[in-house]
Amino acid sequence: MDSSAALYTKLKGAQPFFLMAGPNVIESEEHIMKMAKHIKAITTKLGVPLIFKSSFDKANRTSSKSFRGPGMAEGLKILEKVKVAYDLPIVTDVHESDQCEAVGKVADIIQIPAFLCRQTDLLVAAGKTGKIINIKKGQFCASTVMVNSAEKVRGTGNQNVMVCERGTMFGYNDLIVDPRNLEWMREANCPVVADITHSLQQPAGKKLDGGGVASGGFRELIPCIARTAVAVGVDGIFMEVHDDPLSAPCDGPTQWPLRHLEELLEELIAIAKVSKGKQQFAIDLTPFRD
């Protein structure tokens, strides 16, 4: 069994769930190393499998003036240092098909951004790396779209696919989380992940002094969405974590404070254990759908 298949098998069997976590974007090598060290210490203590997350380039920022990150070459060097120093699998996102090969040499999981979840060439290029592919459901998509997106990856011969719920547009500047999607996305026949931080964005909903807009969000509701997701029984949780969200250069309003990570995970583990125990006795509702 190759390393990607072995990690995929491990994550599918993770109890009570696995965690993808880290700061939204690479701010500096020093910051990333610090965050990886602290997050790993917490998850190791609690027995939660961790995949460390950060982006080398936020290509879809609201404003062209916003911080994007160090770029692919420098960013991958930093992520590889994290991987070696802390023996952690890495997840990061791609935006262009020609990025996939280089990213696949470092990342254990390649993430497809929600805006790009239907982009066939990108999905195929990512799939050809043989790495695990985490596809975020577009804010504009029904859950059924993810079945086709997953099949585009599997068409390359790569069976290591995950799908991720990250909210649905509700008007112009808001998102809602429909818990039904966490169940309906099971039709993609792969692990289901809940993004409990991006789901609470208010896209381009924050007016800036001097003009322009940025994305806002509801950090205080992250525990609410997280509790819902683990009660439903997702396989994994995706969350962005920062030691000082108020000063984060990207998505500060929806990054969870590092100082509160352990207590939140403790609560989610307790909920998930109870919920998954009850699911063993769940009634098959299939006969009642017609």
CA angle 57, 60, 66 (to 5 degrees): 75
- Asked about 24 being catalytic, the answer comes back as yes
Q: Of 57, 93, 108, 251, which is the active-site residue?
A: 251
Q: What is the phi/psi pair of residue 239, to 5°?
A: -150, 140
Residue 210: other Cβ atoms inside 10 A: 5
Residue 166 has φ and ψ, to the nearest 5°, of -140, 30
Structural contact between residues 46 and 263, judged by C-beta atoms closer than 8 angstroms:
no
Tokens 């997050």 found at: 39
134 flagged as catalytic = no
Q: Which of 53, 58, 136, 152 is catalytic?
A: 58
Cis-peptide into 223, omega within 30 deg: no
The single residue of 24, 134, 158, 160 carrying the catalytic annotation is 24
Q: Is 137 a catalytic residue?
A: no
- The answer to whether residues 216 and 202 touch, using CB atoms and an 8 Å cutoff, is yes
Contacts of 146 (CB under 8 A, 6+ apart): 117, 135, 137, 163, 185, 187, 188
Residues recognised as catalytic: 24, 58, 251
